[in-house]
Amino acid sequence: MQASKEYDSPAIEYRLAAEWEPHAATWLAWPHRKATWLGDFAPIPKVFEKVARLLAAYEPVRMIASGSVLEEARSSIGSVSNIELVDIPTNDAWLRDTGPVFLLPPDRQEPLAVAWKWNAWGGKYPPWDADAKVACAIARRLQMNVVEPDVVLEGGAIETDGEGTLLVNYRCIEDPSRNPGLSRTYLERVMREHLAIEKVLWVGGELVGDDTDGHIDQLARFVSPGRVVVARQPDSLDSNHAALEANCALFSTLVDARGRQLEIIPIDIPSRFVFEGVQLPASFMNFYIANGIVVVPIFRDKADDAALRQFEQCFPGRRIIPFDCYELIRGRGALHCITRDEPARQA
């Protein structure tokens, strides 16, 4: 099915929900592709098990896998209350990027799933044939209508306030390895139309070691309408220092879809975080918001405690749960990268 205008009817105005809005579920994919992880793969499935068990205490969790991978997941979490195993094949476990983006209607109409094209971050990790089908497979499982824009766009590349503003990084969208020959003007129009967005805010920047070419969920996230936490690196010897300083300055000039100048909350990330000589993109921005909680990645670093205190101030009324991502970051991602929130249908 090609990209459709069916949801653009004035009678049905879909909306891209903010992550802090109520969830119907969190989707995850059981890890099995050893080649994309640095170091020993053996601890990684245990990390996913811990994430699934944690989230299942607050909302339903749906874990996808197939064949022997599904059986491995079943042996670990098959008996856990509030976790459903779903038979969908995968190449990899970064479901934030491969899963569908869900849009909510303003009434009791069915939500809509948007399945963007997928090519493994610009062709970096073949094969990706199974992951290219994941978004549609999840939508079919949920019996949702689905549209498939002819543009590569990963879920970690977009961030919304739920009020019509979208944050994106041009580096991972306006990219010849993903969308050759497509202009920023065209890409913005496609995102606005298919995500029901009023205003797109383009930024730049990239963390050393980030193989996504600068996903926004490593750099800056909304914590409420008009308020954004932004990664900062105060260590002038760290390779990320200059780029993140420039990003903080840029964010302070941005105005959202409602005409608000963004309030910027800088959060210092770990400095020169290295595994076996490779600097990795350890960032507190890769947190995940679930029903009643915010799960914040920590890295056994001296910056952890200060970041947690800042998140407590950003999310009053929610429980802040630190989660050790020392192993998870060896895949060059963290909590937000492996989760896909399914918003609750409106009453």
Give the position of tokens 């802090």.
Answer: 20
| CA dist., res. 269 & res. 284, Å (int) | 6
**By the 8 A CB rule, do 51 and 63 touch?**
no
Count of beta carbons in the 10 Å neighbourhood of residue 85 = 18
| CA dist., res. 28 & res. 94, Å (int) | 8
Question: What are the tokens at 94?
Answer: 């970064």
Cα angle 135, 190, 341; round to 5: 35
Buried b (16+ CB within 10 A) or exposed e, 313-333: ebbeebebbbbebbbbbbbbb
| CA dist., res. 166 & res. 196, Å (int) | 10
CA distances 337 to 58, 68, 78, 142, Å, are 19, 23, 23, 22
Buried b (16+ CB within 10 A) or exposed e, 174-190: bbeebbeebeeeebbeb
Q: Is 337 annotated in the active site?
A: yes
What strands lie across the sheet with 101-103, from one edge to the other?
101-103, 112-114, 145-147
Buried b (16+ CB within 10 A) or exposed e, 64-77: bbbeebbebbeebb
Q: Active-site residue numbers?
A: 337
